[in-house]
Structures are given as structure tokens and as C-alpha cells.
Amino acid sequence: MTRASFRLPPRTLALAIAAAAFTAFASALPAGFVEWDDHYNFLNNPHYRGLGLAQLRWMLTSAWSGHWTPLTWLTLSADFTVWGMDPFGYHFTSLVLHAATAGVFFVVAARLLASAQPETAPGAIRAGAAVAALFFALHPLRAESVAWISERRDVLSGLLYVLTVLTYLRAAETAGAARRRWLALSVAVYALAMLSKAIVMSLPVVLLVLDAYPLRRLAGRWRQRLLEKLPYAALGAAGAVVAARVAIGFESRAEYPLWARPAAFGYNLVFYLEKTVLPQGLSPLYELPARWEISDSRLLVGLTLSLVATVALIAARRRWPAGLAAWTAYAITVAPVGGLAVHNGPQIAADRYTYLACMGVAVLAGGAWSLALARHLLAPRLRRTAGAAVAVALLGLGVLSWQQAAIWHDSVTLWAHATSVDPTCARCQNRLGASLHAAGLSSAGVIPLQRAVALRPDIPNFRGDLGQVLVWLNRPAEAVPQLERAVEAFPDNAALQSALGAALTQAGRPDEARRRLETALRNRPDDVGALTQMGFALVATAQPAAAVPYFERAISQAPRAVAARYGLTRAVVALGDHARAERELAALRALDPRAAALAEGARR
């Protein structure tokens, strides 16, 4: 990692860095869709599938999952057009976007370092820029953005973000008509970034920071610099307004008190830097505390350290302007997702929020290396040793990224990793249990589901999930109390009422089950689960003739519903309709041979 190592042409270096970034996360390629938004966004979402007028209209008008990201959906629709529902193609596109971001970031870092260190030789600048780009691109904190298909918006907006900065830097280097053209192009690319993910809303302020350092363009011309930011600011403000309007899951002022906002922001600033320096214990979910406590040491320490760092960097701004510029850009980029104004979601922090925020930190690291080379701070022998150490460190980051990307292979692997990082994460335990159940390992899934309820008994959804799995395992004595608590919280939830009806039927209380199921069907007359369980409750009370219409309605809504077909088979057998029983058994056998075998056994 010495200057001699960087005599390659810049384009060749950029391509090599892009290839390294792709390789580091290639373990994500065989991964599937995970039960962490992917199922909702892709498996259960037909709206994005294709590039027709209906799909384009949906992209432009939908705030699916609380985000308005039409350009991101366009790339996902293109993936579907090429790959169908094969997740390999979706992962491949995300890796290509990340690799492209790494290559462009190398060019941006080189220009910023050249502005900050005009006396430094080009070889040292390229070496520093390569270190910056590799540090950013190979860091395992990037795994969530790259390996999680639902976060396509991160890698797409990241690429457009660095392209916006690159075209802005080109504008800063020129004058006259050429400068205006570059600025117009930069604003246009920024508009595309805003259509990818609103997290880029803070970029206009970051550009002002770059004007101050390293570009040094503010002296005597600050009004002009502010005016040229107005188009960016207008786009950023519009994006912020749209993001606030479509977002879901905001905590109320009572849930998220005013004092907690600067504390959470300070915690985030320290947390992300800590994970950047020591990338251990990375998780898909860093769970919010059950309550915001003013005595929480994590929040107090984070806020204190952030304030101390800010004061120290302001005091040292003349001797080390790069430090203050990097810290300011970092804090500004974290601010929209750092809890300073509002908070939504179950996380107190998230790896994906570092994708843009830590770019400045990477440039700072690269700048330190280029200075060490340019100023001969190391003896030749030590320089070679230090270069080898930097190379080994970057290789180590790549290995960690390979491992971190691999945890996104499937839902069970993902949440098993999360619970190993933090066994007290209630949502992680809940997701692990649900994933095990979905994978056909329901008995194993009960244990983490019970842990989730024990950790957070105040969350009724956890009780509902546990109760439904217990129903599946035919453990009604345990299921009924859990589901009753869940239904108290969500009396209009047909799925919970249906599960409670099933549990009551299993427990030998079919009349109570029918009352619950009648409530569910009043709320959702076509709910397949409630219709099916009403049929079973009627069969249990020796009313198979009354049960048949419920099973038939369920099958009309979901022709491949195994439970409804099984129930219908049992009902017609009980009615003695042998001809129809044979037909229903044949249909059931085509759907699920094991269920058909059970029905035949009951028939005998």
C-alpha cells in the first residue's frame, strides 16, 4: 500500500476497487428473501412485478411500507422482468450497485484529498483514495445495505449520492457555461437520488461543508455558494416533507420524550463510530429499550462523548480542519435517522444508516495514509511494513463482510445470529421463533417465542405469534391464555380470533370457539382462517352439514388452502357422502399427501 503500488491508471484502480467490493459481499448471492420486510415487499407484493403502465403508476403513487422510492422500485421491477422471483438476480443487482459506488467513491475521495493536500504527489493521493474507498466498500457495516434485498434503496441512493458529489466537484473546478452545465447535471442526479431514498436529504448541507473544507470556496463568496445550493435544498426539503408524510410507526411524544432526542442522536454518533473501528457484534436489529430512561448510561455516555468531540474539534479547527469537516458531515448525515427530531421503527440504531454517514470517516482514514506517504513520516522499511498492515486490515474487513453478508442467507440464519449477538432482544427472539415455524420446525420455534413473551410481556403481538404456533402443535392449554391476551389488545384482528377459535376447539370448547369466530367473520367475512376454523368448530359439535358451506367459502377464497380442503373432506365423510368424499380426498392428495393420509385414517 505504498505510492509505488498505485501507479496504475485511476480507471484501472477504480475497477479493481469495484471488483473487490463485489467479491467481499458475494456470499449474499445464494441468499433468499428473508422474513424481515422481504416477504412483504416482494413475495406478497404483486404490484411491482413488471414494467407496464400499471406498475409504473403504482411506483409513482405508492408509499409502500412507509417509503416513497419510485426509482428504487423501478430497478426492482427490472429485476423481476429479467429474473422473475429468483432472489439471485436481486442480490446480483445490489452487489453491482455497491461495486459501482465503490469505484465512483474512489474518484471522489481522490479529488477531495487533492484539494485538501495540494502539495501531495498524485501517487500518494491515489494511495489514500484507494484506502478510503476500500475502507468504505469492504467494511462489514455495509452488509445490511448490500445483502438485504429490501435495502436496495440504500445502494442505489448511495451510488447517486456519490455521483452528485462528483459532478458537484467537477462544477467547482470549472467556470462559466461549463460550470453551469455541471451544476445542472449534479442537481438532476440529486433528484434521482431523492427518488431512491429520502435519506440523502441532508446532502445540500454536506456540500456546504465541502465548500468550507477542503474546497475552501466560502471565503468572500458565501452568498453565491448559498444561492447555488437552493435547487439542492428545494429537492431535499420536498423529499423530507414527503418522507414525513408517508412514514409509519412514529413514536408519540409520550413514548419518545424531548430529552431523549439529543441523547439518542449522541448515542447514534458514538455507536456508529465504535462499530466502524471495532466491527464486532453487528446485528440486523439493535432493539429499542422498552422505555426511555433518563438514567440510561448508554444514552448519557453517547451524548457526553459527542459533545466533547464537537467542542474539541471546534477548538482544533485551524490545526485540523479535516477533522471538523468530517465530523460535521457525519453528524449531518446521521441526523435524519438518528432520532434528533422523530423516531420510528423498533431499532435504536441500524447498520444501514452508516452507508452514507461513514463516507467522510473513510476519506479521513485515506487522508491520513496519503499524508503519511507524502511527508515521509515512516522510514522506508516501516513504510513497507505499515503498507502490509493496511493491506491485511482491509483484507480482514473483506473477510468479515463475507461472513456478515452470509447471515442474510435465510430467515433462520439471520435471526439465530441476531439472538446470539443479543439474547435479550425480544423482537429477535420472536422473529427466530416465527422463522423456525415457517421452516417446519415449530417445536423448536416455541422456545424463542416464549423467550420473547418473557422479555416483553407488554407486546401482545408476541403472545399472538406464540399462541398460533401452539395451536399448530395442538397444545391448546398453553395457546388459549396467550391468544386471549392478544385478542384483548386487538379485538378486531380476524387472524387472532381465528387462532383462538381453533385453540378453543382443540380444548374441547367448540361453542366458545364459535362465538369468537362469529366475531372474526363479522369483521372479515371472507377471512380464510376464520371460515376454516368455524367449519372445524361445527364438525366438533356434530354439525358437519353446517360446516360444509364454511369450508367451501374458504376454498373459494384460497383454492390451495390445505386446512380448508382437509376440513371439507372430514365433513363430507361425516355426512356419509362417499362419492364426494372420494373427490375431496383426491383433491386433497394433490395438494398435500400427508393431509390426505390423515383424512383417510380418520375415515376408517
Number of structural domains the chain divides into: 2
Whether 238 is in a domain gets the answer no
Helix 494-506 vs helix 460-472: crossing angle, to nearest 10: 40
Whether 427 is in a domain gets the answer no
Whole-angstrom distance, CA of residue 497 vs CA of residue 503: 10
Whether 82 is in a domain gets the answer yes
* Alpha helices for 407-493 (secondary structure H): 411-421, 426-438, 442-455, 460-472, 476-489
Amino acid at 478: E
pLDDT value, residue 271: 97
Q: How far from the centroid of its chain's Cα atoms is residue 222's Cα? A: 38
- Other beta carbons within 10 angstroms of residue 34's beta carbon come to 25
* Alpha helices for 494-577 (secondary structure H): 494-506, 510-523, 528-540, 544-557, 562-574
pLDDT value, residue 603: 61
Segments in the chain below pLDDT 50 = none
Whole-angstrom distance, CA of residue 181 vs CA of residue 171: 8
Please state the three-class secondary structure of 486-501 as a single string: HHHHCCCCHHHHHHHH
pLDDT value, residue 255: 66
Whether 148 is in a domain gets the answer yes
Same domain, 127 and 269: yes
List the helix and strand counts (H, then E) for the chain.
30, 2
Phi first, then psi: what are they for 203, rounded to 5°?
A: -60, -40
Whether 452 is in a domain gets the answer no
Same domain, 394 and 468: no
Reported pTM = 0.91
Whole-angstrom distance, CA of residue 303 vs CA of residue 341: 15
pLDDT value, residue 231: 97
Query: DSSP letters along 125-146, please?
Result: HHHHHHHHHHHHHH-GGGHHHH
Amino acid at 364: L
pLDDT value, residue 246: 85
User: Which of 390, 405, 420 is the last residue in one of the domains?
Assistant: 405
pLDDT value, residue 249: 57
Whole-angstrom distance, CA of residue 568 vs CA of residue 579: 13
- In this structure, are residues 32 and 409 in contact, taking their beta carbons and an 8 Å threshold? yes
Which residue in the block uniquely carries the three cell numbers 426492482? 76
Same domain, 395 and 473: no
Same domain, 267 and 379: yes
Helix, strand, or coil (residue 250): strand
Cell of 517: 369466530
Whole-angstrom distance, CA of residue 501 vs CA of residue 516: 6
- In this structure, are residues 282 and 351 in contact, taking their beta carbons and an 8 Å threshold? yes
Q: Using CA atoms of 385, 389, 109, 10 in order, give the dihedral in degrees to the nearest 10.
A: 60
Cell of 464: 399472538
Whether 195 is in a domain gets the answer no
Whether 220 is in a domain gets the answer no
User: Which of 387, 405, 423 is the last residue in one of the domains?
Assistant: 405
Whole-angstrom distance, CA of residue 513 vs CA of residue 117: 76
User: Which of 405, 420, 441 is the last residue in one of the domains?
Assistant: 405
- Other beta carbons within 10 angstroms of residue 375's beta carbon come to 12
Please measure the distance between the N-terminal and C-terminal CA atoms of the chain and give it in whole angstroms. Answer: 77
pLDDT value, residue 106: 98
Same domain, 380 and 282: yes
Q: Give the domain CATH number at 463.
A: 1.25.40.10
Whether 448 is in a domain gets the answer no
Helix 53-61 vs helix 70-83: crossing angle, to nearest 10: 150
Q: Which residue range(s) make up the domain with 578?
A: 459-603
Same domain, 129 and 276: yes
Cβ-defined contacts of 482-488 (< 8 Å, 24+)? 482/453, 485/460, 486/460, 486/461, 487/516, 488/460
Residues comprising the chain, all counted = 604
Positive/negative CA dihedral, 345, 347, 348, 354: negative
